[in-house]
Amino acid sequence: MADSKKIYPRTGDMQTVYLKNVITNPNIEVGDYTMYNDFSNDPTRFEENNVLYHYPINHDKLIIGKFCSIACGAKFLFNSANHTLSSLSTYPFPLFFEEWGLDKKNVAKSWDNKGDIIIGNDVWIGFEAVILAGVTIGDGAIIGTRAIVTKDVPPYTIVGGVPAKPIKKRFDEDVISDLLCIKWWDWSNEKIARNIAAIQSGCIKEFMED
C-alpha cells in the first residue's frame, strides 16, 4: 500500500519527492502524495529554490493540496517580489529605511501584498511554470509549461501562455461538478487503490460505482 510518509516514493529515483516530507517552513502546507520532480537541482531544497520572496514579515502562505504533480523548475513568486503601484515611484524606499531615515516597521510598504498562493488537489503544474502571489488554482487544473499565472484558475481548466489564459476545460460541467462532489483525493488509501482503474478510465460512470 502507498506510504505518504516517504521522501522518495520511487526506488532508485532521487529526483522525485513527496513534497510534504521535505517542507520545514510553517507557512508552507502540502497535502499527501503531492510530488515534485527536479532533474536540475536537489528536489529536497524546494523551499529554497522554488518558493521565492517568501519572507516571514508578510505572513503569506503557500498551500498545496493532495495528489498534485509539480514539474521541474516550477516557481511560486510571493509578495515581496512586487513593488508598490500606488506610489508615484516603484522604487522600494521603505526597504532601505536606514538610508532614508524611515521607520523600519513600514518596510512592507515597499510592495503590494496580494495574499496567499493556494493550489487545489490533483493539480498538474508544468515545467518552469510561475505562479504569482494571490493566485488560487482550482482542483484538477493543469498549468502549461512556462506559463505565468497571474489570475485565479477555475477547477479542471487547462491554462497556458504569458500571461496564462484558459485553453479549455478538461471535462464538461456535469463531470466537473461530480468530481468536485466526490473529492476522491479525500478517500482512504484502500478505496483509492480499488478505484485506480476507474480513475484512469476517464469514465465518470465507472468511477462512481464504488
Which residues are tagged catalytic?
Answer: 83
The three cell numbers locating residue 62: 503557500
Task: Give the three cell numbers for residue 169.
Answer: 476545460
- Torsion, CA 124, CA 126, CA 129, CA 133, rounded to 10: 0
Among 66, 78, 96, 84, smallest CA distance to 25 is for 78
Tell me the C-alpha to C-alpha distance, in Å, between residue 31 and each of 58, 109, 185.
23, 32, 10
Q: How far apart are CA 166 and CA 154, in angstroms?
A: 9
Angle at 180 between CA 173 and CA 75, to 5 degrees: 100
What are phi and psi for residue 51, nearest 5 degrees? -105, 100
Residues contacting 32, CB < 8 A, separation 6+: 4, 18, 20, 66, 67
Cα 48 from chain centroid (whole Å): 15
Cell, residue 207 = 468511477
